[in-house]
Amino acid sequence: MKVLLIGASGIIGKGVDAKLSARHDIIRASRNSGDVTVDLKDPASIRAMFEKVGAVDAVVSTTGKVHFGDFADMDEEKYRIGIDDKLFGQVNLVLIGRDYVADNASFTLTTGILSRDPIRYGSSASMVNGAIESFVKAAAIEMKPGQRINAVSPGVILEAMEGYAPYFRGHDPVPAARAAMGYAKSVEGLQTGQVFEIF
């Protein structure tokens, strides 16, 4: 399969690349590097990416930024970071990409454990992850015939614990290679409308 991997330069993206590249043709995309660059906050950039890569059999998104902060200090601008980047970035990837991908193509989005296990300072991440998961479940029943959509919801990633450990006390970190199994299941399986929890 021809797989478009967005966020290929990130920790999860590298894990997914390693998992899938032996069996599939990977087109790597990220904000500043890769075979093609894309800014998910900019619909024109998403459209230009699809124009450049042509029809693909799978679109995998392993990216998305949110703001972590004390709820007392959160305001619309801080919540907008996650809404505009991780939520609408991935939603627009589907809305725009569905007209470019091959028949029977799949979309795999990224959420995270905070949709079901909130932490201090993580209200934006919890909100955005929950919205993406609901979008996936609802969109799946109305996708074009043959198209599929799923999400992967990993726990905190082991290789990212240096930066996230203070927020995730008591959490059992997930190696990126294990998280990548959820993406492989979505790309290579037949399920749709699912949230694959990896913890």
The string of DSSP codes covering 28-76 is EEESSSBSEE--TT-HHHHHHHHHHH---SEEEE---------GGG--H
**Which pLDDT score is estimated for 87?**
98
pLDDT in tens, 54-90: 999 999 999 999 999 999 999 999 999 999 999 999 9
**Which pLDDT score is estimated for 53?**
98
pLDDT in tens, 114-147: 999 999 999 999 999 999 999 999 999 999 999 9
Share of the chain above pLDDT 70, in %: 100
Share of the chain above pLDDT 90, in %: 98
Give the amino acid at 52: K
**Which pLDDT score is estimated for 188?**
98
- What's the mean pLDDT when you consider all of the chain? 97
Global pTM value: 0.97
Helices and strands per DSSP (H, E), number in the chain: 7, 7
Rg of the chain, C-alpha, whole Å: 16
**Which pLDDT score is estimated for 198?**
97
**Which pLDDT score is estimated for 181?**
98
End-to-end CA distance of the chain: 27
**Which pLDDT score is estimated for 179?**
98
**Which pLDDT score is estimated for 195?**
98
